[in-house]
Amino acid sequence: MRGTGKADIFVMLAHPVGHAKSPGILNEIFEQKGLDSLMVPLTCRPEDFETFWAGLTAAENIRGVIISVPYKVAVYHKCAAAHDRAARVQSANSVRRQADGSWYADNFDGVGFIDALKAAGHQLEGRRVLQVGAGGAGASIAYCLAEAGAEEIRLADIDKDRAETLAGLVGKAFPKCRVQAGEADPTGMDMAVNATPVGMHASDPLPLDVARLTPDMTVVDIIMEPAETALLKAARERGCRVQPGRPMMDYQVRGMSEFFDIDRKDRNHG
């Protein structure tokens, strides 16, 4: 039976949380594996975050938390230690309880993105990538693209300072990768990535100049709903290889499941 008094408790925190996909996905995994564990979607208003987080930390049997907008940075700063993937973007999308009760941060946004591309047979080493979006998920992805061996990354963002700053940081961390801020123009690139929320709504503009896509390019969107965004549709019609957002989530969930060690046998309950 799932959800007894001895259940391992995980939380998914976002505001709002109703549209979050990870609680349903994780709970389905727990059920399929026959684990007495629950992934609990919780939400709080930004002005209540400090109070909420203190209370969550006091709940001794909460083993881990998945974090989404707008709390990734705030939660990162609550952690006592972090994986380099989280530290370099100062942002946590997963935290787990350490033996002393404090939190350890990690961030699977970029890893999930890379793993999903690799699983679909995409080569990243030596590639030139246009990435649109230098926000939270975008920062995580840019670092991981450079880490995966991309030769060049062109970062475009409506906030040019943000793109410049991120380009500088990623280039410094991975000097073999040429990283520069630029326009949302895929000309000369092997891959174009949308790492913005532009495309979630039917009325959204296209996040990049699709007229300049050529059939040799791969186009990736991190948006999960709709499954085929206007960008992916336009890219497909132009003969590009396309990669939707859902596999990135699935590979993130795989990373989180390992991070949380959901199968562990040595359960210890309050």
The set of catalytic residues is 72
Question: Residue 66: beta bridge partners?
Answer: 12, 94
CB of 191 to a second copy, least distance (A): 30
CB of 264 to a second copy, least distance (A): 16
CA angle centred on 151, ends 148 and 153, rounded to 5°: 90
Q: Show contacts with a second copy in window 54-83 (CB under 8 A).
A: 54-62
Nearest to 52 by CA among 62, 64, 41, 42: 42
Identify whether the C-beta of residue 122 lies closer than 8 Å to the C-beta of residue 97.
no
The stretch among 19-27, 87-95, 109-117, 134-142 that binds a second copy (CB under 8 A) is: 19-27
Figure out which of the listed residues 6, 33, 77, 118 binds a second copy, where binding follows CB under 8 A: 6
Helix (H) / strand (E) containing 156: strand 152-156
Q: Show contacts with a second copy in window 40-59 (CB under 8 A).
A: 40-45, 48-49, 51-59
Q: Give the total of residues touching a second copy (CB under 8 A).
A: 47
245 sits near a second copy (criterion: CB under 8 A): no
For residue 181, the number of C-alpha atoms closer than 13 Å in the C-beta half-sphere is 16
Figure out which of the listed residues 18, 34, 175, 205 binds a second copy, where binding follows CB under 8 A: 18
The stretch among 36-44, 82-90, 118-126, 188-196 that binds a second copy (CB under 8 A) is: 36-44
What tokens appear for 236 in the block? 């497909």
14 sits near a second copy (criterion: CB under 8 A): yes
Cα separations (Å) of 192 from 23, 47, 142, 188, 224?
A: 29, 37, 12, 10, 17
Q: Radius of gyration (Cα) for the chain, nearest Å?
A: 19
CB of 77 to a second copy, least distance (A): 17
Q: Under the rule (CB under 8 A), what is the footprint of a second copy?
A: 1-7, 9, 12, 14-24, 26-28, 38-45, 48-49, 51-62, 269-270
